[in-house]
Amino acid sequence: MSTTFTNQATLAYNGARLTSNIAVGEIVQVLSVTKTPVSGTYTPGDDVTYIISIINSGTDDYNGLIITDNLGEYTVGETSVYPISYVEGSAKYYINGAFQSEPTVTPGPPMVISGINVPAGGNATIIYDGVINSFALLEAGSTITNTATVTGAGLSQPIVASATVTAANAPDLSISKSISPNPVTENSEVTFTFVIQNTGNAAADTDVVVSDVFNPALTDITVTFNNQPLTPTTQYTYDPSSGQFATVGNTITVPAATYEQDPTTGIITTTPGVATLIVTGTI
């Protein structure tokens, strides 16, 4: 990589002032930097591992370099927010593949790694983790672009490398179960309620199956999904002798979550998509 510079001289004599031609020079940079995420996608709370590689093609060592990582910085209104938080203690540092002692890291934001050395004709590699926090955009197609800038003695200008990860386009389901009434008297009606939540940015509309074994087994069951009755055999199966229950594929769907960003703080709030399955029978 190279950069050009220009220079022009001035000559003054006997009250006259002349300018020279414009000389153009070139500075060839011998350091190159790349930044690579181990995974190209993210979900809330994920650890994303980044690899920064610095290659020195020159004949002189570079010592005491500083890497400044903007942790995906973007602005909301007049506020800068950082969707990635450095995982303290995660940084690993190698010179020509040999492990070095942990570098000096200021978590930030921005995060700063200092004291990086790159020998002549050699390379340095820094590996570290960042956790996806509440400032990360989560809608389908959202991205985080994380930029590292290398500065230090001997560099004519900063060297920059960026890496982009994309929000995973997938559902993220959880389920909870409750019993009512509780306690329940024998030979009376009991209701099991299953609440399914989706914090992902895509609906769960295929291959979602809820199964359970009611013990003791229920008799005379009725099943509803989102307050709509389900049909035995075609939408669910149940064996009253064993208590084995399961919904039939493509019966259960759970909408995607929605996301709202505070225009002042930049914090993103997730409202899960919710679906409710209710099984009522005699115990």
Mean pLDDT, residues 23-29 taken together: 56
**CA atoms of 160 and 33, how far apart (whole Å):** 7
- Asked if residue 216 has a cis previous peptide bond (ω within 30° of 0), the answer is yes
Question: Which domains does the chain carry?
Answer: 31-167 (2.60.40.740), 173-282 (no CATH)
Amino acid letter, 63: N
- Could you tell me which of 118, 124, 144 has the C-alpha nearest to residue 48? 144
Tens-place pLDDT, residues 126-183? 999 999 999 999 999 999 999 999 999 989 899 999 999 999 999 999 999 999 999 9
Mean pLDDT, residues 251-269 taken together: 97
Tens-place pLDDT, residues 168-218? 999 999 999 999 999 999 899 999 999 999 999 999 998 999 999 999 999
Look at strands 159-167 and 41-42 and give their pairing.
Answer: parallel
* Token duo for residue 120: 């002549």
Query: What pLDDT score was predicted for residue 238?
Result: 98
Mean pLDDT, residues 18-42 taken together: 81
| Residue spans of beta strands (DSSP E) within 59-110 | 62-69, 74-76, 79-81, 84-86, 92-95, 98-99, 104-106
Mean pLDDT, residues 96-101 taken together: 96
Tens-place pLDDT, residues 229-256? 999 999 999 999 999 999 999 999 999 9
**CA atoms of 105 and 99, how far apart (whole Å):** 16
Query: What pLDDT score was predicted for residue 20?
Result: 76
Query: What pLDDT score was predicted for residue 4?
Result: 57
Is 3's pLDDT higher than 60?
no
Query: What pLDDT score was predicted for residue 16?
Result: 82
